[in-house]
Chain A
Amino acid sequence: MSSGISDAKAATTPQEDSVPAVTTLPLAKAINRALSDELAAEPKTLLMGEDIGALGGVFRVTDGLQARFGTDRVIDSPLAESGIIGTCIGLAMRGYRPVAEIQFDGFVFPAFNQITTQLAKIHNRTDGAVTVPVTIRLPYGGHIGSIEHHSESPEALFAHTAGLRILAPSSPHDAYWMTRQAIASADPVIVLEPKRRYWLKGEVDLQNPAPDAFTAQVLREGTEATLATYGPLVPVALAAAEVAADQGRSVEVVDVRSISPLDDETIARSAAKTQRLVVAHEAPTFGGFGAEIAARVSERAYHRLAAPVLRVGGFHMPYPPSGQEHRYLPNIDRMLEALERSFAYATAGGR
């Protein structure tokens, strides 16, 4: 199956050739563009989900795609998440590259069985005879003032399942290219879309791919501590680093980007350089993915660290009523507080 990505130029229609190679798009539009380009490049690519057709999805991420590609390729499904993933698996077995939209993070659980016992395992179960290149788009995370089940961060639940790849883009450019790489992958990929950043605008270079989706990237160089995060908290971390700089602290920011596989080498290299690491995510810290990063960096950079790896995240509670989410979610101050705690340990050379 062709990757699609290499066909990026072929994918653009004459009409779209008028769009400059570098364009400023909101993150949701960047994903829309990625889906559109993949649908154009690969006839076997299909979209399926609830309300993704005429409505264009509840976040309008698929806006206009059904009108352009037809109801057979942009499929409004029955209201059944297990059904969406289970039928995507069957389509993939037959050679299709289905892209499923799960409307909200909290609605992925009816499909949890299909994702974890089937999608993740079929390639392994069949000794590689059957590939299931299903992409699951999952708007995730909080800070949108919504009701229960609309603000969750379930990445650790999927990270623990071998067979899945999990991406968490944080910018429009990454969202465009990482979505395309997810669809092109022969493996099942969950793309965690930072829903509170859907309207975040940024430059998207349609000709020059982002770095490999399955790598972490240093977004801001620093020397005294590393702040690693992904998805919706990346802009928060960059802002926290800016405030820290004003206070005389040089903080490096790493965008983790890929949960599975985890580019622990890049994160550990940064932590070894700065000697301090703070990991942040919206999900609860207890049993959270930050613990995995902390453990791996501790193993790799133990003698270079001047402080234990510290975590910033949600509390061990169900996601709270959104009237209280400002106290629950990590913000600039919580990241700065963790950095301060890290700095409070004995300085350079530490051990």
Chain B
Amino acid sequence: MSPMRDVDHMNDFQLADPVPVQLLREDGTLSEHPQFSSYVEDLEDEVLRELYRHMVVERRFDAEATSLQRQGQLALWVPALGQEAAQIGVIAALRSSDRVFPTYREHAMALYRGISPEELMGTFRATRHSGWDPHTYDFNGYSVVLATQTLHAAGWAMGITQDVATGSLPEGRAADEVVLACLGDGATSQGDAHESMVFASSYQLPVLYFIQNNHWAISVPQKTQSRTPLAHRAAGYGFEGIRVDGNDVLATYAVSRYMTEQIRAGGGPKLVEAVTYRMGAHTTADDPTKYRSREELEEWKSRDPISRYRSWLLTGSKVDQEYVDQVDQEAADLASDLRTAVLAMEPMDLERVFDTVYAEPHRQVEVEKSWLKDYEAGFAEEVDHE
């Protein structure tokens, strides 16, 4: 065979349409999409309401967290304001047993999975590095060194294929599990994101890459990360990528459902680029007025994911004002619970940190832990003597 014809094993995908898939227009009216409308047409009202409820609750939660940080109760907060539809759209399209590998901004997804406000806030009150057991929620701890988590996702997916191949699926795990690898526009520039997509493609792993393109990596605009739509990158690795309006919860849900169906059927990895916008600061330590214009922010406010969806729900009588008020009340209650929980949160003991450096005993850790105990006991004795 001529080397030039050595293409049998190669996948050939068309570049994604640079115009994002949209089902719900910015004015709150529904549009027809030949491929994706069918994924939302038959959704029960209860499902539609849940999408709304989760978005609203997270936004209120997010605002309360920002306020708590301003009041000195959190070391840092990372607002997800504006990205509610992208996050809820994809997480609702997954099964609860599909493993999620988040960055550090996936609060809507985390709450959706049942992670409590207190568990979520351990990271941000700096009382612990990560506040929940990833195995309980099939939701990994937040990843702060960006894109590292995309390789863990690929490795987890290798474990799925290995389990299936050897007939050793653990109890409660599905053979057609999908792994969600979250990343943002900034993280796509990291080498680990590239390596993860290479591994996922080479071994045809069941990974859905979900890029929330929120346009800003702290102060650096997306054009510095990529001169092509990020969804186009998938074709370079030999799998399908789709751009979706990440402020349209219905479109994000529909595209994610389509992609997960392909993956579950053995179609290998897929990529969704959710085009959205970080309406808040990068973190509470950031000042976005230094690098982006008021006009840009206003423009994106007009594409707000929640008001657009609420308008459609109300117009179509999927919900009434009473329901909207009820959700607002639930959100306010959660914010109140968050405040109470945060104020009561104490840092984990340093002893506990010593105890978890290793899973098995380590001489130096034991000696230092013992030394600290004696050292601090010395102070206690001095106090006693006084």
The interface of chain A, by Cβ under 8 A from chain B, is 43, 46, 72, 77-78, 80, 82-83, 85-96, 98, 110, 113-114, 117-118, 121, 123-131, 133, 162-163, 165, 185-187, 214, 260-265
Contact = CB atoms under 8 A, between A and B. Distances in A.
B177 to A, nearest CB: 10
B162 interface: yes
Contacts of A83: 151, 154, 192, 195-196, 198-199
A128 to B, nearest CB: 4
22 contacts: A78-B195, A78-B198, A78-B199, A83-B196, A83-B198, A85-B151, A86-B150, A88-B155, A89-B152, A90-B152, A90-B157, A90-B159, A94-B163, A113-B192, A127-B128, A127-B130, A127-B133, A130-B134, A165-B358, A186-B359, A214-B363, A264-B363
B357 interface: yes
B115 to A, nearest CB: 13
B348 A86 contact: no
B196 to A, nearest CB: 7
Contact of B166 (A72, A89, A185): A72
B151 A131 contact: no
B184 interface: no
Given A46-B162, A78-B202, A90 B192 contact: no
B141 A125 contact: yes
B360 A72 contact: no
Most chain B beta carbons < 10 A, residue from A46, A118, A264: A118
Contact of A126 (B134, B163, B192, B362): B134
Contacts of A89: 151-152, 155
Interface of chain B, main secondary structure: helix
Contact of A94 (B128, B156, B356, B359): B156
Contacts of A94: 155-156, 159-160, 163
A186 to B, nearest CB: 4
A128 B129 contact: no
Nearest to A96: B159
A127 B356 contact: yes
B195 A72 contact: no
B135 interface: yes
Given A95-B170, A214-B363, 8 more contacts: A82-B195, A86-B150, A90-B159, A92-B155, A94-B160, A114-B151, A129-B134, A130-B134
A82 B192 contact: yes
A185 B357 contact: no
B148 interface: yes
Return the 6 tightest CB-CB contacts between A and B, nearest first.
A90-B155, A86-B151, A94-B159, A87-B155, A83-B195, A186-B359
Interface of B: 128-130, 133-135, 140-141, 145, 148, 150-160, 162-163, 165-166, 168, 170, 191-192, 195-196, 198-199, 202, 348, 352-353, 355-360, 362-365
B385 to A, nearest CB: 29
B359 A87 contact: no
Contact of B155 (A86, A162, A163, A214): A86
Nearest to A263: B363
A110 to B, nearest CB: 8
Most chain A beta carbons < 10 A, residue from B135, B151, B362, B364: B151
Contacts of B359: 123, 128, 131, 133, 185-187
A46 B168 CA distance: 14
Contacts of A262: 363-364
Contacts of B128: 127
A78 B237 CA distance: 13
B192 A114 contact: yes
Contacts of A263: 363
A118 B145 contact: yes
Most chain A beta carbons < 10 A, residue from B165, B166, B199: B199
A93 B199 contact: no
A113 to B, nearest CB: 7
Contacts of B166: 43, 72
A124 B141 CA distance: 12
B148 A117 contact: yes
Contacts of B196: 83, 86-87
A261 B158 contact: no
B139 to A, nearest CB: 12
Contacts of A113: 145, 148, 192
Contacts of B150: 86
A58 to B, nearest CB: 20
B154 A123 contact: no
B356 A128 contact: yes
B124 to A, nearest CB: 14
